[in-house]
Structure 1
Amino acid sequence: MIQNDEKVEYPWDCVLCSQQNAYFLRKCQHCGTVKQQFCQQMKFDYLQNDNQAFSEINIIDFECNRVEDRREILELLICKLKLSESDYKVVFSKQLIIKPYLIPLIQNPEYSSITQEQADQGVPFQQTFQYLSGDIYIFENNEKAKIYQEQCQYLNLQCPITKYIELRRVFPNSNGLLTLNAMMKELKIPYQSDCFALAEVVSELLERAYKFELNMLQTLKFPIPEEEARLQGFDNIIILDFEATCVRESDKKYLQEIIEFPAQVYNVQERKVKKEFQKYIKPVENPILSDFCTELTGITQQQVDEGILLDQAINEFIEFKQGLQKCCILTCGDYDLHLLKKEAARKGIPISRELQYYINIKKVFPKSLRNPKDPKDPCMVEMLKLCGLDLLGRHHSGIDDVKNITRIVHYLINEKNFQFDERMVSYTFKL
């Protein structure tokens, strides 16, 4: 519970004794009166938060064995809390060592508390499903939920979890970026090496009358093995990279327009480029290119003056990609298709959904190839370097950038046995 010296944030005033109480408390800590008002600055409405509460919560955390960018759960922690109107209690808590399947040997044993012998005698991952039941599951963050899901997929198991709450995202009065240690510090929970830290955080929130609700739920995209057929990878990858009008000075009011629409189709089975598309687009909102734009992209005024309009280019691109089976657009960043969506909206051009989902190669570029000292996603030039490839052609020429991104795709598929599949897809629209 709240300590006497704890700072009171987002307070509410008791209607009986007028004393201030912290937002977490449902009753006045001075006279016991039930909370009657709340501060609107909090992310979650208190009155709504007082309804539709879950009666049982499963808290899941784990440690992984790792080889490059592959992870396998080695130690699984499960805690089950039973909730009532006035109290909650731990009805189950278990620590399970999982027998390795994907990565037989423990990596970096000097940093692991689990020995190889313990791991070899561990339980199969699927046996842990028997301990899961109840209304909702809580993971520390989305990354952990996805790792759990991936393990089910690797083992061809039906994932027992389809919906969950990401504690980091719903933690009160936070920006959704807190680590587990930061949450413990925020709640003034002392660290103990033998404690189940995630359960300690959830328990403390419940002590403070915090509730977990239906509107906090998130869904795992592919929770059942029947979806595995959809995860065999794309047959054709359409590499796309727009160039747009621009000015040297930063100007938020300046409306960018696409002026080069290039693409290549890379066939995964044949391991080569099958088709190429390139059109110059005539801008209408800012018809005269700036000197900076020509200097950056190499695109001339004459090329855009002789170009076609955006809606015609979109129609020709749709025709270009007709007949391609199991295909997906791939871009180097989120910029390209978001730019298309904004410009099309301004100009009243309809955009089909097939032009609103894509793979951002920056996000899926393998961790094993990245610079471990640089947490940022690599740009195209950095990815080329990390793949041992030189930059060819002119950077910021749309068609040359497309060719260089295609070379990165080719390297990942051929040299790293990399698979581009639906788990990597991003969207410019809400599903």
Structure 2
Amino acid sequence: MKQDKILVVDIEATCWEGRNPPGQENDIIEVGVCLLDVNTGEITGSRGILVMPERSQIGKFCTQLTSITPGLIEDEGIYFDDACDILEREYDSKDLVWASYGDYDRNQFQRQCSEMRVAYPFGPSHINVKTMFAEKRGMKRGTGMATALEMLNLPLEGTHHRGVDDAKNIAKILHWALNN
């Protein structure tokens, strides 16, 4: 495992107010990714990979939350298996420790890979930044990413609930947690 860099991932998925509509499954629609240099805190390779939902549709609630529209996905989206290939090929995702804020991203990737018969693109080493932050701060429970940034007096940069921006914000929290 390469230890000098950590792959930070934040996904956005199709979502609805309340329960999923009949016949619709949560699909990853954006994989936000960046590399955190553990030593310097430098964030590189930042990218948002837009993914076409294959088992659901993007509704108004989802667009309001993420700013991702069906038109944006039609113009720029790729298939989920191709997004997983990019993670492996361009980010060495199988060889790097990877991190996300909470377990939702890891669980959604595992579930969607299994259900769609796509090879899981990550290695076994995962850091739950939400839990790590709570432990470092002596908190009994984790807090949301925006609140964690606020507690560290760090600005929330970009658009909250856009994977490409949230991955960079999570990387800042992770760098703090690794060095405190």
TM-score normalised according to structure 1 size: 0.38
Aligned equivalent of 1:311: 81
Deviation digits for residues 368-423 of structure 1, max 9, x if unmatched?
A: 5245xxx321221221122122322221111111121112123334xxx34xxxxx
- 2: distance between equivalents of 1:295 and 1:400? 16
Indicate whether 1:339 and 2:119 are aligned. Answer: no
Letter paired with 1:402: A
Using the TM superposition, give the Cα deviation of residue 334 of structure 1 relative to its aligned residue in structure 2, in angstroms. 0.5
Aligned equivalent of 1:377: 142
Indicate whether 1:275 and 2:45 are aligned. Answer: yes
Indicate whether 1:236 and 2:1 are aligned. Answer: no
Q: Write out aligned runs for 1:50-199 (5 A).
A: none
- 2: distance between equivalents of 1:390 and 1:314? 30
- 2: distance between equivalents of 1:407 and 1:368? 14
Letter paired with 1:313: A
Using the TM superposition, give the Cα deviation of residue 348 of structure 1 relative to its aligned residue in structure 2, in angstroms. 1.4
Using the TM superposition, give the Cα deviation of residue 366 of structure 1 relative to its aligned residue in structure 2, in angstroms. 5.2
Label 1:339 to 1:366 Cα distance change in 2 as closer, same or farther (>3 A): closer
Residue 294 of structure 1 is aligned with which of 40, 63, 69?
63
Unaligned runs of 5+ in 1: 1-229, 419-431
Unaligned runs of 5+ in 2: none
- 2: distance between equivalents of 1:353 and 1:312? 14
Deviation digits for residues 53-85 of structure 1, max 9, x if unmatched?
A: xxxxxxxxxxxxxxxxxxxxxxxxxxxxxxxxx
Aligned equivalent of 1:387: 152
Using the TM superposition, give the Cα deviation of residue 278 of structure 1 relative to its aligned residue in structure 2, in angstroms. 2.0
Sequence identity (%): 27
- Of Structure 1 and Structure 2, the greater helix share is in 2
Aligned equivalent of 2:131: 363
Contact 1:263 1:399 in 2 (8 A): yes
Letter paired with 2:164: I
Indicate whether 1:398 and 2:163 are aligned. Answer: yes
Contact 2:52 2:78 in 1 (8 A): yes
The higher radius of gyration belongs to: 1
Letter paired with 2:47: F
- 1: distance between equivalents of 2:121 and 2:136? 35
Contact 2:8 2:100 in 1 (8 A): yes
Using the TM superposition, give the Cα deviation of residue 352 of structure 1 relative to its aligned residue in structure 2, in angstroms. 4.9
Contact 1:277 1:320 in 2 (8 A): no
Using the TM superposition, give the Cα deviation of residue 294 of structure 1 relative to its aligned residue in structure 2, in angstroms. 0.4
Using the TM superposition, give the Cα deviation of residue 262 of structure 1 relative to its aligned residue in structure 2, in angstroms. 1.2
Letter paired with 2:55: E
Contact 2:9 2:32 in 1 (8 A): yes
Aligned equivalent of 1:411: 176
Aligned equivalent of 1:65: none
- 1: distance between equivalents of 2:86 and 2:121? 13
Q: What is the alpha-carbon root mean square deviation over aligned residues? A: 2.4
- 2: distance between equivalents of 1:333 and 1:366? 11
Aligned equivalent of 1:188: none
Aligned equivalent of 1:15: none
Residue 262 of structure 1 is aligned with which of 16, 23, 32?
32
Q: Which has the higher contact order (CA 8 A, sep 6+)?
A: 2
Residue 91 of structure 2 is aligned with which of 317, 321, 335?
321
- 2: distance between equivalents of 1:353 and 1:367? 25
- 2: distance between equivalents of 1:299 and 1:366? 30
Count of aligned pairs = 178
Using the TM superposition, give the Cα deviation of residue 336 of structure 1 relative to its aligned residue in structure 2, in angstroms. 0.5
Contact 1:237 1:328 in 2 (8 A): yes
Q: Secondary structure at the match of 1:235?
A: strand
Aligned equivalent of 1:424: none
Deviation digits for residues 250-297 of structure 1, max 9, x if unmatched?
A: 2386410000011000111333113223210011111x3100000000
- 2: distance between equivalents of 1:312 and 1:399? 17
